[in-house]
Amino acid sequence: MEPIQPGPSAVPPVPPAPLGALLRDRSLGLRHLAGPAEADVHGVHASEMADPTPYLLGGELLLTAGAGPGRYGEYVASLVRSGVAALGFGLAPVHAAVPAGLAEACGRAGLPLLEVPPGTPFTAVARTVGRLMAQARTAELRRITEAQQALAAAAARPDAVEAVLRRLTAALGGWSALQTPSRGPDPDPDSDTGAGAAPGPSAGPTPSAEVLAAVAALARRVAPGPADSPAAAGAPAAGATTATATDTVGGLHLAVYALGDGRSLARATPGRAPGDHTIASVAAVLLTLLTAPRPAGDAAGALTRLLLGGSPAEALAPGPWYAVHAAGAGDPGALAAALGTVLLDRRGHRVRLVTDRAPGPQPGWRLGVSAPAAPGGLPAADAQAGRALDRAEAARAPLARHAQGGLAALLDPAEARAYAQALLAPLSPALRETLRRWLAHHGSWDRTAAALGVHRNTVRQRIARTAALLEADLDDPDTRMELWFALR
């Protein structure tokens, strides 16, 4: 029987807990029975359902104590298709031992199977996974911060471009290069630089000709040369290219980031960690600043003047400017590049940007866009963008723009604010945010859990606590409408 191939996994972009570390925790007493002993665990879900797949997000360690007999192959196949990372089978009270048929099915499918002893509650396993994920997240954030600081220091060197590439390669390994469009006749197709790409600064061992050709093809997708670009022909550039492109060739992960005017940053690495895209995006922004003479230079000057105590009105051009709030699982640096800006701020689950282009929808993101504003009006525009993103999430729309008027315009702002504060006073900030996300996702436990990065049972507990504190029936549409209005 052929091993079952796992389906797509919708796991959050957070470093996982290594299954091996879970097995090495002696306090749990877990025993590995079948399948690989290593896997990436992105959470824990406990279920005794015959078919738990509708409630799985992917990447979980699924804990159960009673998978139905006689259907182990079908049961395991459905779990693998749902992207389950591993299966933990609890002994007692139903089974004294893990069924042999289940172990055989997991072995054939390549799904890790763990035995959970009677003295280990499932909650202890979940707490350990949470602790391991928190440790991995802390380590990854530290790695990203240190890499960002090193890249910024490299950008201040006299040989800034080469220094940034060297530092990027030191942080991520592999090969990094600045790609520039060929401006002469068509290059030699047998050249190592690849069709359409001129040699540029690089760092790390040069990949094979096959890899370089694949990189050149990606570069043409994200950064066509000036002669080929839509802007050069007088056509709008929107939708003509993407900000990033990826591929896998010869066991290497390839990624190319657009820098503007036909330039791009190319990467080839043997592996890829969750924070690598963030680090590479920082390098791409720095290289954009270093290689683009005018627009990026103006943005760099604006940032410098703001950091030295200026005001937006003094630091930025007259505009108009747009504030953008974004929510999604994509790379914020790539989003900023797509919107033509380096003015980017990450706040929790949201990304805030300022751009002088009227933004359009971006794949993988929901956007809230303010009305056009002068530099001095950016604080108000930021609030507009936040409210617009709330509407986009509630409507499941890719983009919502600020609109004047509406129900809120009929009420006195001070009175409305006072009423909202009184209504929501019993709720902690965590409960308010959970309620806002839950309402924005139309009461969906799974989508709310994914948006908050918590387990669906945590969402259920918080919503139940919210209903008790407010003494409200959250199933009533009038109550939901009133709370949504108050949260806004």
pLDDT category at 229 given cuts 50, 70, 90 is very low
- Angle at CA 121, nearest 5°, toward 4 and 108? 15
Reported as a single tens digit per residue, the pLDDT across 86-116 is 999 998 778 889 999 999 999 999 999 999 9
pLDDT category at 125 given cuts 50, 70, 90 is very high
pLDDT at 13 > cutoff 60: no
Pairing status of strand 202-203 against strand 197-198: unpaired
Which DSSP state fits 321?
B
Instruction: Report CA-CA distances (Å) from 61 to 29, 33, 452.
Output: 16, 15, 19
pLDDT category at 124 given cuts 50, 70, 90 is very high
- Within 195-348, residue ranges assigned H as helices are 209-222, 276-291, 295-307, 312-315, 332-338
CB 327 within 8 A of CB 393: yes
Reported as a single tens digit per residue, the pLDDT across 387-440 is 889 888 877 888 988 876 555 555 556 677 777 888 888 888 888 899 988 988
CB 361 within 8 A of CB 328: no
Q: Which tops the pLDDT comparison, 301 or 146? A: 146
* pLDDT above 90 coverage of the chain, percent: 26
pLDDT category at 191 given cuts 50, 70, 90 is very low
- Kindly list the structural domains of the chain, giving each domain's residue range(s) and its CATH number in brackets, ordered by start: 17-131 (3.40.1390.20), 157-182+199-224+243-291 (3.30.450.30), 296-404 (no CATH), 413-487 (1.10.10.2840)
Averaged over 226-234, what is the pLDDT? 36
Residues pairing with 45 in the sheet? 62
pLDDT at 23 > cutoff 90: yes
Reported as a single tens digit per residue, the pLDDT across 464-486 is 888 888 888 888 888 888 888 88
Q: What pLDDT is attached to residue 21?
A: 93
pTM value > 0.85: no
**What is the C-alpha to C-alpha distance for residues 377 and 371, in angstroms, rounded to an integer?**
10
Task: Phi first, then psi: give them for residue 384, nearest 5 degrees.
Answer: -60, -45
At 306, list the tokens: 């703001």
pLDDT at 333 > cutoff 90: no
Average pLDDT along the chain? 80
Instruction: Report CA-CA distances (Å) from 158 to 66, 162, 199.
Output: 65, 9, 21
Nearest to 269 by CA among 243, 285, 245, 247: 247
Q: What pLDDT is attached to residue 309?
A: 55
Which DSSP state fits 367?
E
